[in-house]
Chains A and B, each alone.
Chain A
Amino acid sequence: MALDGNAIGGLLLEIFGSDMTSAQATCASCGAVSPVAETMAYVRSPGTVVRCRRCQSVLIVVARVRGLNCVDLSGVAALEAHPRP
């Protein structure tokens, strides 16, 4: 069952070095912009998969290989940690 981006806050903090749950992610497929916290996250698969809540496209995939995180961000057109007002 899908969780949301809050559930991968620790993983993203580990990868990016700052909290990403408030970051605005733009879906490369449909253009929807949403806080990472409100995306769909699947954490029980072999890797971690983040999907767009509007169109279900894959936004982010993280796979852990020998202690290293391999991050595929090709599904996001933009990921803005500190959105301008």
Chain B
Amino acid sequence: MARTAVRGRLSWQVAEVAAITEETHSVRTIALNLPDWPGHHAGQHLDVRLTAEDGYSAERSYSIASADGEPVAITVERLEDGEVSPYLTQELRLGDQMEVRGPIGDWFTWSPHDGGPLLLIAGGSGVVPLRAILRHRQRSGSGVPVRLLYSSRTLADVIYREELDQYRGHAEVRYTLTRAQPPGWAGFSGRVDDAMLARVAWPASRRPLTFVCGPTAFVEAVAELLLARHYPASRVKTERFGGA
């Protein structure tokens, strides 16, 4: 029975870097050329594997930043004590290759027939899969009402700001800045709390479909606030990416 354990069935493929867009001082979007990509849904992620010359390898998961039908792109934030993200955000060049497997995750996804109204709540780079959802909603012509509450340290740390601001009129986009606010800042300040949700969140009676993504502590705090507002747990989808 020694060989009855299951061998890998999800295969790694080689991706080539097709484009790099610097989003903020510590965040970049990497578009990948993946000839055998089966297609993905907004909200899914992929795994990246980097292997050093000595055979040491490291794997990380990154949310897919692009909508259904768009070429695959990931958005990566540099973590100062990270092992993989400093390479991806500082060393990686056009034409470089890396191993990728995916798409992964059919729980934290949205498609127009899932309906809404949608409430998207992001902490830091947790905005990445939510941006894919916003783009998919826009591209598919869905009229599902959507609100995004995006918590960021400073305005300069806001990822996709230009694009998100363009959604205004089609989507309600609100920022809260936790560390510093520019003079005359008219948005929210500080961490997401119940008073903020009282102004942004749909009434529970509308049975909103909610996606929360961010660092673990952020997601736990927000999910608790939503449940206290009587949001049905089955319609609050969460994704945590650990530290910070």
Interface residues of A (CB under 8 A from B): 1-7, 9-10, 13-15, 17, 19, 21-22, 35-38, 65, 68-71
Contact = CB atoms under 8 A, between A and B. Distances in A.
Given A6-B240, A14-B8, A22-B107, 7 more contacts: A13-B9, A13-B10, A21-B104, A37-B108, A37-B239, A38-B107, A68-B7
Contacts of A13: 9-10, 104
B194 to A, nearest CB: 22
Contacts of A5: 107
A38 B221 CA distance: 15
Contacts of B46: 10
A10 B10 contact: yes
A52 B7 CA distance: 26
A23 B59 CA distance: 24
A19 to B, nearest CB: 5
B242 A9 contact: no
A19 B104 contact: yes
A65 B5 CA distance: 10
Q: Which 4 A-B pairs have the closest CB atoms?
A: A37-B107, A21-B107, A68-B5, A9-B104
A38 B227 CA distance: 14
B99 to A, nearest CB: 12
Q: Is the interface of A mostly helix, strand, loop or mixed?
A: mixed
Contacts of B5: 65, 68-71
B45 A19 contact: no
B216 A3 contact: yes
A22 B216 contact: no
Contact of B45 (A6, A35, A65, A68): A6
A38 B61 CA distance: 17
Interface residues of B, number: 28
B102 interface: yes
Given A9-B104, A19-B104, A68-B5, A4 B238 contact: yes
Contact of A21 (B59, B102, B105, B240): B105
Nearest to B43: A6
Given A7-B240, A21-B105, A69 B6 contact: yes
B9 A37 contact: no
Interface string B37-69: 000000001110000000000010100000000
B7 to A, nearest CB: 7
Given A3-B216, A10-B47, A13-B10, A19 B105 contact: yes
B13 to A, nearest CB: 13
Contacts of A68: 3, 5-7
A10 B107 contact: no
